[in-house]
Amino acid sequence: MLQATALFLAGLLAGEEFIVRYGVQPALRTLDDHAHIQARVALVKSLRIVVPALMLPTVALAVTVLVLTDGPGTGWRWAGAAALAAFVLSSFLGTVPINMKVVDWRPDAPPADWRGTVIRWQRIDVLRSTAAIVAFACFAAALAVQVQQAGG
């Protein structure tokens, strides 16, 4: 049950990252500067609550499953944990510091380099979102291998 719960949370995290990367970010690019900045600030304000609320229990359960579960699928679990570590590191060292600045942007008076900051955030987010998706895929593969080995 613990492994299924960890997989569920990893799936939610990967889904959230997928939508932000391939749904929200392209949509933001279609907006005029004022609307783009206004929407980006609003998104940062909400996602800085949602993402940690998913990330922290996902990491905690993934580590717990990694420590407590042995046997079939172990390699996939380690690969998933490595991808999750890449997600966490790229978040805390990359997008979080940027988001801490973005939250204070004013649509009527954005910083002169706001477009460059957005491009930098997007480049880091390619790594983040890919890492979350890969972690989910690895954890799903680990569970599939375990179920297959158990004969069920």
Boundaries of domain holding 38:
2-149
Q: Into how many domains does the chain fold? A: 1
Residue 5: which of 81, 62, 52, 55 has the closest Cα?
62
Contact 118, 40 (CB under 8 A): yes
User: What is the reported pTM?
Assistant: 0.91
136, 77, 79, 138: CA torsion to nearest 10: -30
Identify the sign of the CA torsion 59, 65, 70, 72. negative
For 7-51, how does the pLDDT look when each residue is reduced to its tens digit (9 = 90+)?
999 999 999 999 999 999 999 999 999 999 999 999 999 999 999
Higher pLDDT, 71 or 63: 63
Give dist(CA 95, CA 131) in Å, integer: 14
